[in-house]
Amino acid sequence: MPPDPEDRSVPIDRLLAFAEKMLQTVDVPEEDARLTAHILLQADLRGIESHGMAHLVDFYVRALQSGRTKPRPDISVTRESAAAATIDGDGGLGFVVGHHAMGLAIEKARETGVGIVSVGNSTHYGAGAFYGMMALEHDMIGISMTTGGRLMAPPGSRGQAVGTNVLSLAAPTPRSFPYVLDMATTVVAAGKLEIAARRGRPIPEGWAVDGAGRPLTDPTMLQSGAALLPLGGATDTGAYKGFGLALMVDILCGALSGFGTSAEIEIGTAAHCFGALRIEAFQPISQYLERMEGMIAAVKRAPKEEGIDEIHIAGELEHALADERREAGTVPLHPAILEGYRVAADEFGVPFDLTEAP
């Protein structure tokens, strides 16, 4: 994952401090601001530019400033049993709500072996992998799902009707990296089009269609009635698989929480579902890790295409990239993002000291 030549290297410590200050200017408590900045940074460390610090100001600070997102939500459990719960996020930052809910799922799994927490009345929570990965240090498998923006065209449709609903699963392995799946149920996340537009590049045919159902290559048209295709693309290439997965996420997030599915809820709101599975409740963790090693080794032994040195497991490359960026102490950001930061810093009276690293 080579950096884009346009990007600038920004020191991690200064970026975190800046993000925390910006969030606090719109009344986010210090602890919640620190958590939100940390989760955004994790996406950038792992190369998930579409869900990282690029959204700090325009996506989150502006929503807090306008009142669309509450800076101090009253997060509450509305229904609960030994292994399950439903949470009302009270319109708060999805990062704060999601972290709280996943923590509860882990707590329940510690006691019962399994914890499932469904969440309604929340907002965008960034990259789904972070929450599933919270379970790893507890020798658990973590699950994270959320309704996304209503941008998917169901098979046979040419309009936005269903969310780009996300599902993620993180599982321990005996290797130096965990297994981490984090995927939208559309061909690509909407943020990929945002990145292409920022860099002035077209998108490949097969990602999206315009209002007439024709293949779209202009990423800026997504906000003008265009729609993303389900994972699988067209009906004859498997679109019902992506569409079916999107509805599965809707069921576990929006229907189970009672808040509403992506086809129904107000734009800017979200429902989530989190799960934690304590491995020792199913089998000794040593046996589980043996099976995981067998799976990974078998996959890596598979015959390789010409020019391919190694077959990688989901999350493996992202883990390596995160290690590299932590070691370097910087993450890349596009100049347009930094300029947006500078303008917002002037507006909110926050020092702008994101000097580029040498």
**Which residues, including other chains, have CB under 8 Å from residue 137's CB and lie 6 or more apart?**
none
pTM: 0.95
Helical ranges in the chain per DSSP H: 12-25, 30-45, 62-66, 94-112, 129-133, 190-198, 239-250, 256-257, 285-300, 316-328, 335-348
Q: Residue 2: inside a domain, yes or no?
A: no
Domain membership flag for residue 62 = yes
Q: Do the domain assignments include residue 354?
A: no
Flag whether 358 is in a domain.
no
355: in domain: no
- Per-residue pLDDT 10s for the chain (358 aa) are 456 778 899 999 999 999 999 999 999 999 999 999 999 999 999 999 999 999 999 999 999 999 999 999 999 999 999 999 999 999 999 999 999 999 999 999 999 999 999 999 999 999 999 999 999 999 999 999 999 999 999 999 988 999 999 999 999 999 999 999 999 999 999 999 999 999 999 999 999 999 888 999 999 988 777 999 999 998 999 999 999 999 999 999 999 999 999 999 999 999 999 999 999 999 999 999 999 999 999 999 999 999 999 999 999 999 999 999 999 999 999 999 999 999 999 999 999 988 654 4
Residue 338, domain member (yes or no) = yes
Number of separate domains in the chain = 1
- Whether residue 35 contacts residue 99, with contact meaning beta carbons closer than 8 Å, is answered with yes
Residue 298 covered by a domain: yes
Helix intervals (H) in 113-188: 129-133
Does any domain span residue 83? yes
Q: What is the CATH number of the domain that holds 204?
A: 3.30.1370.60
| Enclosing domain of residue 76 | 8-348
